[in-house]
Amino acid sequence: MLAAMKVGMIAPIAWSTPPSHYGPWERVTSLITEGLVKKGVEVTLFATANSHTAGKLHAVCPRGYEEDPEIDPKVYEYLHLSEVFEHAHQFDLLHNNFDFMPLAFSRLVSTPMVTTIHGFSSPKILAVYEKYNGHCHYVSISDADRASTLDYIATIYHGIDIENFVFNDKPEDYLVFFGRIHHDKGAREAIEIARRCKKPLVLAGIIQDEAYYRTHVEPHLNDEIRYIGSVGPEKRNEILGKALALLHPINFDEPFGLSVIEAMACGTPVIAFPKGSMPEIIEPGKNGFLPGTIDEAVAAVKQLSTLSRQACRQTVEERFTQDRMVENYLSVYEKILRKHKRP
């Protein structure tokens, strides 16, 4: 039944799917889509026109609105969603990766919809999820990122295409920060940890908060603390794989953290503050450490030699692969389709 299933996959349109550099929601949507296609599922990807898929691409937005300032986000978000729901009858199931907005259209069609909740941007959006609780099906991406007022059909951790991450057992003598340049991600804390350890630091990621960058990052840049901008898949593999460790001193309850498992896939351990999903991913003393303070993070850097880089890779092979993620989504699809018997 599943191989003959037709799925409408709803991607965000901030970036292309998959993104050329930044775009975690789009990246995960692509990994799910391509994994389903490999298993024989007929998938139509609703995404930007410059997206790529082995399935069928359906697009009205030419490029991501973060890539082209001439594209009005609201106009194209509604054009994007109208295409999805005007064609909903063609599918057995809709899989929403586009936050809360598609929920508002879900009762206008008979096609069941599952929504992967990639995180809550604000407590205010919970009202929409609560309205459609029980009608739509929700998947959380970690147990830590569940709202107590919602019902969930499953927790499915993100997976990555591990074959595209090269294991490196001979790291160079530097630390890496890989994420948005923003208070939430802890770029300032990463710089402080590296300086106190007297280790070089490479920072990579988009500048999401210009004032934060000017105040907490730019004044500290030198030969030892380097910011290299946002990097694509090839450079990402190199930067993560050659590092002694990924510094992830987050200041918010992170729903998941793709860079954490991407680093581990390269054999690179992770030093992260124990917020959000981090305790679900990192096993202290095996694939990283979970220090509660900067002082403890500095001490953790000095203990990196006690960790096995092979164990970091093994964590991803066992728990966070694309294939494992796709199999879990197929199980959810099957459960939903048994419940919604449509002609």
pLDDT tens digit sequence for 263-310: 999 999 999 999 999 999 999 999 999 999 999 999 999 999 999 999
Q: Where are the beta strands (DSSP E) in the chain?
A: 6-10, 42-46, 56-58, 93-96, 113-117, 137-140, 154-155, 175-178, 201-204, 225-227, 245-248, 270-272, 288-289
Cis peptide leading into residue 69 (ω within 30°): no
Q: DSSP for 290-318, please give it.
A: --SSHHHHHHHHTTGGGS-HHHHHHHHHH
Q: Where are the beta strands (DSSP E) in 67-224?
A: 93-96, 113-117, 137-140, 154-155, 175-178, 201-204
Q: Assess whether 112 and 241 both reside in one domain.
A: no
Identify the pLDDT of residue 192. Answer: 98
Q: Assess whether 146 and 289 both reside in one domain.
A: no
In the sheet that holds 288-289, the strands lie side by side as 225-227, 201-204, 175-178, 245-248, 270-272, 288-289
Q: Which residue has the tokens 């809550």?
A: 120
DSSP label at residue 52: -
Residue 113 lies in a domain: yes
Q: What is the pTM of this model?
A: 0.93
Q: Assess whether 131 and 198 both reside in one domain.
A: no
pLDDT digit string (tens) for the chain, length 343 residues: 555 899 999 999 999 999 988 889 999 999 999 999 999 999 999 999 999 999 999 999 999 999 999 999 999 999 999 999 999 999 999 999 999 999 999 999 999 999 999 999 889 999 999 999 999 999 999 999 999 999 999 999 999 999 999 999 999 999 999 999 999 999 999 999 999 999 999 999 999 999 999 999 999 999 999 999 998 877 899 999 999 999 999 999 999 999 999 999 999 999 999 999 999 999 999 999 999 999 999 999 999 999 999 999 999 999 999 999 999 999 999 999 998 875 4
Q: Assess whether 328 and 305 both reside in one domain.
A: no
Q: Assess whether 240 and 109 both reside in one domain.
A: no
Q: Assess whether 106 and 79 both reside in one domain.
A: yes
Residue 249 lies in a domain: yes
Residue 1 lies in a domain: no
Q: Is 9 helix (H, G, I), strand (E, B) or coil?
A: strand
Identify the pLDDT of residue 343. Answer: 47
Q: Assess whether 204 and 311 both reside in one domain.
A: yes
Q: Assess whether 151 and 290 both reside in one domain.
A: no
Residue 191 lies in a domain: yes
**pLDDT tens column, 216-251:** 999 999 999 999 999 887 789 999 999 999 999 999
The domain total for the chain is: 2
Identify the pLDDT of residue 142. Answer: 98
Q: Assess whether 304 and 191 both reside in one domain.
A: yes
Instruction: Identify the CA nearest to 10 among candidates 75, 72, 103.
Output: 103
| C-alpha 189, offset from chain centre | 22
Q: Assess whether 221 and 155 both reside in one domain.
A: no
Count of C-beta atoms within a 10 Å radius of residue 204: 21
Q: Assess whether 36 and 146 both reside in one domain.
A: yes
SS3 content of the chain, % helix, strand, coil (to 5): 40, 15, 45
45 and 96 in contact (C-beta within 8 Å)?
Answer: no
Identify the pLDDT of residue 342. Answer: 55
DSSP label at residue 108: G
Identify the pLDDT of residue 340. Answer: 84
Any residues with CB less than 8 A from the CB of 193 and at least 6 apart, and which?
Answer: 175, 247, 249, 271, 294, 297, 298, 301
- Alpha carbon distance 323, 315 (integer Å): 14
Identify the pLDDT of residue 234. Answer: 78
- State the residue range of the domain holding 53: 6-159+321-339
From the number of C-beta atoms within 10 Å of its C-beta (0-12, 13-18, 19+), residue 150 rates as middle
- Looking up residue 169, the CATH number of its domain turns out to be 3.40.50.2000
Q: Assess whether 113 and 185 both reside in one domain.
A: no
